[in-house]
Structure 1
């Protein structure tokens, strides 16, 4: 099992991105998927992606961006079905938080559907707080919690 940061200079860039795009298409509804623009998103200077491999297979990933020098946004966290509930999502999130903290980010935010209680509970366990309920965030009938964690007072 290994946790890696996807580097543009990696010889495996295309292979890793292709596998993540397949995972993205399988997990997220078409209108929420970044599959078509994944490569473009990762080319942005302020984007980052950490992924976990188990026995040569990508088990999950977390994608984030730093739109300013003070804040970061987690855009995606995904773990393949067969690897869920084994701590891999938590490990990915902890690594992303650490990466952001190393850049002296003061706040990390994310959006999560309230019905995804296991995800909400994971984020709370890691120190995220619910900021507000954003109605119709995903679609007209699907809301999202905006959650955040602050490091500014440390």
Structure 2
């Protein structure tokens, strides 16, 4: 990961909460189409009990973030992973994803799942690099003309 950024877990009582959420919402609006963006409900999503958010801040701005949840003791999901355009290809996405996987692993879940647009090749390649496998293609997942791969990572039962 590039110098100058450290992974931080957003704590509900953090004095920086609103600034960080604001930075993430701006990133959400820029990266994701309106119907896929959590911009309007981000704060609400983060306040759910079994969810977490890790982010990288560089020079006071949110460079990247990953949001994850563990709705049951068996499975977790990566709900969002985004890296600001000028911070891409510097290892932030991979570092965040590895940290999120580790956080989920400590909750003893057996599987982490996610959805990704097959046309987002860098994202698909990153997930595959970290061991995620394509479960299946879900047609019209994002929109009538946009599909998604459902991908998963299983932890070996120990």
1:5-154 aligned at under 5 Å gives the runs 5-154=9-158
Q: Which runs of 5+ in 2 are unaligned?
A: none
Q: Give the TM-score normalised by the residue count of structure 1.
A: 0.98
CA distance in 2, matches of 1:67, 1:152: 20
Q: Give the TM-score normalised by the residue count of structure 2.
A: 0.95
CA distance in 2, matches of 1:98, 1:117: 24
CA distance in 2, matches of 1:100, 1:72: 7
Q: What RMSD over aligned residues (CA atoms) do the two structures have, in Å?
A: 0.8
Task: State how many pairs are aligned.
Answer: 154
CA distance in 1, matches of 2:116, 2:95: 18
CA distance in 1, matches of 2:49, 2:126: 28
Residues 20-39 of structure 1: per-residue CA shift (max 9 Å, x gap)? 11111111100000000000
Q: Which structure dedicates a bigger proportion of its chain to helix? A: 1
Q: Give, in angstroms, the shift of residue 103 of structure 1.
A: 1.0
Residues 98-119 of structure 1: per-residue CA shift (max 9 Å, x gap)? 0100111110000001111111
Q: Give, in angstroms, the shift of residue 152 of structure 1.
A: 3.6
